[in-house]
A and B are shown apart, each in its own frame.
Chain A
Amino acid sequence: MKSKKKSVVALSLAVAGSLMVAGIAAAAYATNFNSFPTLQQGASGGYVRALQANLYAFGQAATVGTIDGSFGSSTKTAVQNFQTAYGLTSDGSMGPASWSKMSAYTVAETTSTFWLDTPSSTTYYVDYNNPTTSSLVGKLKYKSDNTIVNSFTVY
């Protein structure tokens, strides 16, 4: 009876271990914005900060204003401007098609870092870095001297 119990415990541990390994294997660095969630007016947090910084790099700094992580009317207008300029449906909602368009301007620097640079801004670009597979941080920088305009944590 005791050995049966031991076997069950051992089996449970093995299954749990396998699941953990599978989870670790499944975790990966963010390499662009394609996995980012759909964002709409009223959203807030790190993904919105990333969106606002990206919009700076797409020439929408004046419209976005402060990078505050709040998806308000200014950010919505900036998203609409971006969508119109890049031939997307101008609904002000940041969905998969819009994130994919932004991703098309990213370049890998290493397997854990990438940057966003567009011809729409002569002033700003954004560097992204995955310190771990479960975190992503960004830095909005000036193209002229690589100094930092805004640092933010996406997640």
Chain B
Amino acid sequence: MVKKKISIGLFALALVGGYGYHTYAATNENDQQQTQVTNIDSSIPVANQTTVETPLLQGTPDPDAVNISEVPENQIFVPQSVTIGNAGRSINSTSIMTESEIYARETDIGLLLRTTYTTPENVEITFTQGPALLDEEGTIENLISRYNGENIKQTQINGHSAIVVDGTVRKVVHLITKDHLFSASSLNGTVDDLMNVINQVQE
């Protein structure tokens, strides 16, 4: 009789526990779904695409990110106070581009720096500084192979090798020095805009 009571008790406990877990799991799943549903892009219309503006979730801080103020100045070769070039644009050549805060990361391969310059015409140029992981020849080979099929030109800028990619959708200029690989790229600028920035690198 006692055994029977215990069995019934355990069965009831299992039922309640199971229901409780099911409810908890379902709630969690709903939370995740809601998270994903609200995690919607605000997009520039492309073709038939419609723009959707919704609140953004907070991202997780990049564990590699470091405050730029903690990076020794002699390791930063990102051009400061970049002037707008004359090439191709009717803008006062003494104008200075606005520059975003430098995004600095200390990674397994070394220090990576990234910033964005914006002209008064809203041309955005992303500039990056990374370590040279291969010798000059290897770097050039790597870059040429990755942009295979695009309009690529190899040239010299301030005594260093450079790769110019005049792509159909974005332009890129890479400057290869002994210790670094510098890149300037833009989705709405010209190769001249990029050359103007790269020319102001002083390593």
Q: Which residues of A contact B (CB under 8 A)?
A: 29, 31-32, 34, 56, 58-62, 65-66, 81, 84-86, 100, 104-114, 117-124, 129, 131, 139, 141-142, 144-149
Contact = CB atoms under 8 A, between A and B. Distances in A.
Nearest to B171: A107
Contacts of A112: 109, 133
Contact of B48 (A85, A114, A117, A144): A85
A107 B170 contact: yes
A65 B37 contact: yes
A120 B45 CA distance: 7
B43 A59 contact: yes
B47 A110 contact: no
Contacts, number: 134
B185 interface: yes
Contacts of B1: none
B49 A85 contact: yes
B86 interface: no
B33, B44, B62, B146: which has the most chain A beta carbons within 10 Å?
Answer: B146
Interface of B: 32-33, 36-37, 39-44, 46-49, 52, 56-62, 65, 103, 107-109, 112, 114, 126, 128, 130-131, 133-134, 138-139, 142-143, 145-146, 148-150, 167-170, 172, 174, 181, 183, 185, 187-188
Contact of A108 (B56, B58, B181, B188): B181
A123 B56 contact: yes
B60 A148 contact: yes
Given A85-B46, A123-B43, A107 B183 contact: yes
Contact of B40 (A61, A111, A142, A146): A61
A66, A84, A100, A110: which has the most chain B beta carbons within 10 Å?
Answer: A110
